[in-house]
Chain A
Amino acid sequence: MFRRFAVLTFLACFLLQSARPQSSEPFGGRVFNAQSKRGIANLEVRLRPPRGSGSPIMIGNTDQNGVFRFSQVRPGRYLLEVSQGPYVLYRAETDTSKVHNIEIPIERR
C-alpha cells in the first residue's frame, strides 16, 4: 500500500514538473556603428524562433543608444535579425538560454 502511494506521488511530481511552463528570461543587446562605436537608433530587431517551435516572434526597436530589450523570451534557439526598413543589416542564430546580452556591430558602407 505504502509502495503504491510512493510511486503515485513520484509520478504526480514528475508530471507536474514536466507540465510547468519554461520560464521566460529577458534578452537584449546593443546595435552599434562598428567604426564609431555609437549606438544606432530606430532599427527593427526581430527574434524569430524555429518553425514549429510554438514560441512567439518577438519584434522590437533600438532606442537612441542602439539598445533593445525583450523582457520575456523563452530560452532556446532564435534567428536574430536587425533591419532598417527592408534592408537586413544583421542575421545570425543565437541561443537565448546561453546568451542574454549581445553586442552587434554594424559596418558603414
Chain B
Amino acid sequence: MATIPFPDTRVSRAWSRRRWLALAFLAASLALAAACAAAASPRGWAPPVVSQDQLFVSLEAGRLSAYAREGDGWRFLWRFPPQGNNNVRPQAFYGAPIVTDNAIYAGGYDGTVYAVDRAQGTLLWRFDTGGPIIAPLAFDPASGTVYAASDDGRVYALDAGNGSLRPGWPFRTGEGIWARPLLDGRTLYVASLDGRLYALDATSGSRLWDVEVGAGLISDPVLAGGTIVVGAADRRLYAVDVAQRALKWPAPPRAENWFWAEPLVVGDTAYAPNLDGTVYAVALNDGSVRWTFVAENPVRARPLLAGDVLVVVDREGVVYGLDAATGNEVWDSRPALLDRALADPIPFGDRVLLTTQNGGLFLLDPGSGQVQRITLPRP
C-alpha cells in the first residue's frame, strides 16, 4: 500500500495525528466488521422431530432443545448442550436427530456424534469422527446401531448403548459424505461425493457392491420399489436399480443446478426440488419429467405431501401448495416465512411444521395455506 504524499501543508495540518488515528481505527473496525459478517459460519438445517407429544428442535446453531406439549402450548424440558457448558460445541446440526425411547442421537458439524438422555438432556456418550457431520444419522433399532457418515469420507457404525465403534467399521469412501446413509434390511446404502453409491453389509461393514454414478452425490438417497433416487453434482437426478446394480434411466433428467434436496417418492413419481428453483416431477420407471413447477427462489428442502397437497418451501421462505398430479398451485396466495428456509418440512398431525434459519418455527395448514408462528417458551 503506497503512501500518498500531501502536496499542501494546509491539508497536512488539517489532518492532525488524532484524526489519522481515528481514521485508522475506523478503517480497522469496518474491515473487521466486514470480515466477521462475510465469513460464513455454520447454522445448520436440521428439521424438528415430534415424538410422543415431545418436540426436539434446533432453533439455535449447535443447540438442541426439547419441549413437551401442554394443551395448545409447549413446556420447555431441556437444552443440549446446557447454558455455560463450553466443553461441548456441536457448532450446528444439519440432520434431524434420531429419537428413541431413551435417547436422542445427533451428528454435529464439529464432527461428533452425540447421544443425549431423552428425559434429562444430559450427555450419555460422544464419538468423534474425522470431519464435520453434514449427513443425517441413520438408526437400526433391531441391532441398536447408529450409522454416521462424515465429511472425512467414512461411515461409522456405533453401538447406540455406549457409542463404541462396531467391529469392521468404519467404511471408507473416496471423498466426503454429505448424504444420509440409507438402511434397508441388512444393507446400508451410502451415497458419496466420490460419485459412487455403495451397498454395504450393515453388520460387518464390508462392501457388497457399488455403482459409479459419475459426479459427486449430494442429496439424501431415497429407496422406492427397488430403485434408489439420488441427486448429483453434475446437476442430474439419477436412479439406481438395486437388483441390477446399475443405473436405471437412460437419460437422467438434468436441471440448471444441483438436486440437493432429498427427493420425495410417492407411488411411481419422484418429486425432486432443485437449487435452480424448479420442482421436477419425474416418472420412476424411465426418468421422464411429468411436470415442473418454478418457484421464486432455489429450493433445498425436501417437499412434503400433506393430504393431496405437495408442500414446497424455497430458500427465502416462500411456501407453495401444489397439486401433486399436475404441479398447479392450489392456494390463493403464497405464505412467506420472511426468513431463509433450508430445513425439510415435517408432518405434525394434519398440519406441517416449518423452521427457518434464524430460529423461526411455523405451523402450516396445508388445506388453506395459512401459516401461524409458534412461540416456544424460553428456557
Q: Do A and B bind each other?
A: no
